[in-house]
Amino acid sequence: MSGSGADNLDQNFQRAVGALPPTFEELFTEYRSLVYNVCLKFTGTPEDAEDVTQEVFTKIWRSLEDFQRQSALRTWIYRIAMNTCIDHSRRPWRRFRHRNTTLEDILDQGKQKRYLSREETAEGKLLAKEQAAQLRRAITRLKPHLRAVLVLKDLEELSYDEIATILGIGIGTISSRLNRARKALQEQLQAFAPSFSRES
């Protein structure tokens, strides 16, 4: 999350040693967008993302008094969000939804430029929309531990150190999982549509 409001809240909380933590309402206002977006990228559907976001903030509310300030508040919230996403993906009763969510709901502008055609013709826009749907499906079919690293590194653009803190794994493990995730994603995209490999 690049918003200055959340960054300021995080910095103020870190400086306020011995002071009361931010209220739940403050956290919800500042971090809801971050949590929802990362959940959307992980789950692939707005419905699942909304469900997981609510669960994440329930956990934040229950755990806020136990926050030890050993990491940044933002990192702590990322950790709760990713752990909840992974737990959600492993539930046997999880519903699989395939809706025509727009690309803007899943990828930021930078990722659109990386993965999708820039053609401005009607045919090009239709192809881009189809590829966006294929990309969403491919990401959601990755194993949860691989998907987590891919989302945090390639979509959230976090550093290796931040990801290590969030997931509680070493940088070498992150690098290995990221390579596996990218390879698996590329293989799935080629299976969906060979045009991905020709146009990327």
Residue 148: what residue type? A
Q: Are residues 64 and 29 in the same domain?
A: yes
Number of structural domains in the chain? 2
The answer to whether residue 94 sits within a structural domain is no
The answer to whether residue 184 sits within a structural domain is yes
pLDDT, position 65:
77
pLDDT, position 40:
93
pLDDT, position 32:
95
The CATH number of residue 27's host domain is 1.10.1740.10
The answer to whether residue 97 sits within a structural domain is no
Task: State the burial class of residue 112 (Cβ atoms within 10 Å of its Cβ: 0-12, 13-18, 19+).
Answer: middle
pLDDT, position 92:
64
Domain extent, residue 58, equals 4-89
Q: Are residues 122 and 84 in the same domain?
A: no
Nearby residues of 189 by Cβ (< 8 Å), 6 or more positions away: 134, 135, 138, 196, 197
pLDDT, position 174:
97
The answer to whether residue 141 sits within a structural domain is yes
Record the tokens describing residue 86, joined without a space.
């992974």
pLDDT, position 27:
86
pLDDT, position 137:
83
Q: Are residues 64 and 12 in the same domain?
A: yes
Residue whose entry in the numeric block shows the structure tokens 């945090």:
152
pLDDT, position 71:
75
pLDDT, position 8:
59
The 10s digit of each residue's pLDDT in 99-141 is 434 334 444 444 444 444 444 565 566 666 777 777 888 899 9
Boundary of a domain, candidates 58, 89, 120 = 89
Q: Which residues of the chain have pLDDT under 70?
A: 1-21, 92-128, 192-200
Record the tokens describing residue 56, joined without a space.
């994440």
Q: Are 147 and 139 in contact (CB under 8 A)?
A: yes
DSSP code string of 78-137: HHHHHHHHHHHHT-TTPPP------GGGTS-HHHHHHHS----SHHHHHHHHHHHHHHHH
Nearby residues of 69 by Cβ (< 8 Å), 6 or more positions away: 13, 14, 17
Q: Are 189 and 197 in contact (CB under 8 A)?
A: yes
Q: Are residues 15 and 83 in the same domain?
A: yes
The answer to whether residue 158 sits within a structural domain is yes
